[in-house]
Amino acid sequence: MKIKNNIPHIGIIGAGFTAFACTYYLSKKGYKITILERSEDIGGLAGAFKIGNSYLEKAYHHLFKTDIDILELINEIDPNLIEWHESSVSNFYKGNFYPFNSAFDLLKFKPLDFVSRLRVGLALFYVQKVKNYSKFEKISAIEWLRKWTGDRACQVLWIPLLKGKFRKYYEKISMAWMWARLHIRANSRSNIFEKEMLGYIRGGFINLINKILDTSKNIKVYTKHEVINIEYNQNTNKVIVSSFDSTKSRKEFRFDRVLVTTPSHIFAKLIESNPVHQDYLNKLAQIEYIGAICMILETNQDLNLSYWNNINDLTVPFGVIVQHTRLIDKKNYNNKEIYYIAGYFEHDSAFFSLSDEELVENWFEHMSRILPIFDKEKIENIFVFKFRNAQHIVDTNYKQKIPAYETPIPNVYLSNFSQIYPEDRGTNYAVREGKKLAIMISESIN
Ligand SMILES: Cc1cc2nc3c(=O)[nH]c(=O)nc-3n(C[C@H](O)[C@H](O)[C@H](O)COP(=O)(O)OP(=O)(O)OC[C@H]3O[C@@H](n4cnc5c(N)ncnc54)[C@H](O)[C@@H]3O)c2cc1C
């Protein structure tokens, strides 16, 4: 369908990586783009704040060598934006941090007996060699891992990992999701004895979005604009998007096409006023999400950890400690060490209702227990960020739950991370999907 005599105006709901990737590719075609974001800043889950000269993500972020879509975008916009550093990983188990970087480390991993180590190694080798994941879709990760790596490996490695990420949902998680994680990690290095290199966007991930804003034309971004309704008007063939701004006054926008990048259940609420079949709304609402909490410490203490430290101890509420400045030079952050202490939590978790002070008190007790050298006195700043919809629950047979990009509302498209499967969601896939949607939207116009 042609839009005559006018530049097509595309509305995008949400200002995360999917939105800006789509914006970049759409703006190359000359369209006018308006982005509406309910938060006070842009970036979504990859949003950031400033420390020293750099932006720092509210939730830890890095890239893998296999993240080809975002690397291609960076290469096109400014190849200088990417930096690569050697990663390091440890597993905390019963009072000790064990390095976990290569097959050698697995062979030396004392919490597992030798037979369990071998079984884990063989299972990982097998999973990494499997190219077609379809055989893993119907079986849960924990069931498959228990069968092939044994009870001990489940207790020490897999249950803490799965519970750390999915909490009460952990037994439902599909082996296809685990396959994708292991596959990507394996392919991001040339052999299992080599150390992994991780990518970071120079000065913070938000800089990629800032570059998109600098290089693209005809873009308007409205933050503090919560979209509350999306409706198709048959007479004008326009999509009417209503929002509340920060003063709670209602605004209306008219667009030729709309891309929604919010979580699926939020989208379901936004389109309720249209004649949409209840089955479709139920399908959207069926996708479950879990939240995340990230506590960031800016401190003078070097705890000498690995970059990534899995906490394989279910009595500790957080699942990971990330020493960000083990990967990125601390000179970017006023020479302070930066740590993320983070975990995933169900929406009704008590941690979401604790005040920041209460949360700090609770988590610091655990920090002191697992890391007796941890010194609160050396901390200069603490930041706490809570994300309600941080990760969707990728259960067995998840594929059937995935909503289509084209929605029953004419000219309205949906692209969010619940459609990414079997890979774990990430900025790379947000870019991949954003680009795909830009092509779909422009083809629908021409
Ligand atoms: C703890 C954590 C660690 C992560 N680590 C990595 C990593 O290492 N590497 C990596 O690549 N990725 C990582 N990710 C994932 C990555 O951040 C996401 O995949 C990506 O940012 C998703 O982008 P998006 O645009 O699809 O969604 P989002 O970033 O969720 O954007 C959606 C936007 O919609 C807005 N919105 C919602 N409702 C409304 C409404 N009614 N009106 C207007 N706006 C609305 C939201 O505020 C949000 O800004 C991590 C995520 C988390 C939570």
Q: Which protein residues are within 6 Å of ligand 1, measured from CB?
A: 13-19, 36-39, 44-46, 59-63, 226-227, 261-262, 266, 292, 294, 342, 387, 390, 416-417, 425-428, 430
Q: Which of 34, 39, 45 to mutate to test the pocket of ligand 1 (most atoms within 8 A of CB)?
A: 45
Residue nearest to atom 25 of ligand 1 (CA): 16
Of 298, 302, 300, the closest CA to residue 371 belongs to: 302
Between CA 78 and CA 187 the distance in angstroms is 25
Q: Can you tell me which atom of ligand 1 is nearest the CA of 225? A: 43
Q: Within 13 Å and on the Cβ side, how many CA atoms surround 393?
A: 24
Query: What is the 211 CA–ligand 1 centroid distance (Å)?
Result: 18
Q: Which residue owns the Cα nearest ligand 1 atom 18?
A: 426
Q: How far is the CA of 54 from the centre of ligand 1 (A)?
A: 20
Boundaries of CATH 3.90.660.20 in the chain? 289-392
Ligand 1 closest atom vs CA 429: 19
Instruction: Give me the CATH topology for the region 102-194.
Output: Guanine Nucleotide Dissociation Inhibitor; domain 1 (1.10.405)
- For residue 5, the model assigns a pLDDT of 55
**DSSP secondary structure letter of residue 446:** -
pLDDT of residue 1: 47
CATH 3.50.50.60 in the chain: give the residue spans.
Answer: 9-61+204-287+403-445
Q: For residues 434 and 18, is the Cβ–Cβ distance under 8 A?
A: yes
13-26 pLDDT per residue, tens: 999 999 999 999 99
What's the CA-to-centroid distance between 63 and ligand 1, angstroms? 15
Question: 24 C-alpha to center of ligand 1: Å?
Answer: 17
Fold classification of 289-392 is Polyamine Oxidase; Chain A, domain 2 (3.90.660)
Counting other chains too, the contacts that 47-51 makes at CB distance below 8 Å and 24 or more residues apart are: 47/16, 47/206, 48/204, 48/205, 48/206, 49/383, 51/298, 51/333, 51/334, 51/336, 51/338
Question: How many angstroms separate the alpha carbon of residue 44 from the centre of ligand 1?
Answer: 4
Q: Residue 185 and residue 211: Cα distance in Å, rounded? A: 28
Q: In ligand 1, which atom is closest to the CA atom of 19?
A: 25
Q: How far is the CA of 306 from the centre of ligand 1 (A)?
A: 26
Report which secondary-structure segment, H or E, holds 76: helix 68-77
Q: Which two tokens stand for residue 125?
A: 């080798």
**Where exactly does CATH 1.10.405 map onto the chain?**
102-194
CB 387 within 8 A of CB 400: no
* Superfamily of domain 9-61+204-287+403-445, CATH level 4: FAD/NAD(P)-binding domain (3.50.50.60)
Cα–Cα dist 64/343, whole Å:
21
| First vs last C-alpha separation in the chain | 6
Instruction: Report the nearest-CA residue for atom 10 of ligand 1.
Output: 426
Residue nearest to ligand 1 atom 36, measured at CA: 14
CA 35 to chain centre: 20
Q: Please choose from 427, 428, 436 the residue to mutate so as to test ligand 1's pocket, defined by most ligand atoms within 8 A of CB.
A: 427
Q: Give distance in angstroms: CA of 46 to centre of ligand 1.
A: 6
Q: In testing the pocket of ligand 1, which one of 262, 295, 327, 328 has its CB within 8 Å of the most ligand atoms?
A: 262
| 146 Cα–ligand 1 center, Å | 32
**Which tokens belong to 323?**
């020493």
Q: What is the mean pLDDT of each run of 10 residues along the chain (446 residues)?
A: 72 98 96 97 98 94 96 98 96 96 92 97 92 95 98 97 96 97 78 81 98 94 97 96 92 97 97 92 95 98 98 97 98 97 97 98 98 98 98 95 97 97 96 98 94
Compute, in angstroms, the gap from residue 147 CA to the centroid of ligand 1: 34
Nearest-atom number in ligand 1 for the CA of 261 is 32
**Residue 213, φ and ψ in degrees, nearest 5:** -65, -35
Ligand 1: atom nearest CA of 61 is: 8
Closest ligand 1 atom number to CA of residue 17: 25
Residue 261 CA to ligand 1 centre (angstroms): 9
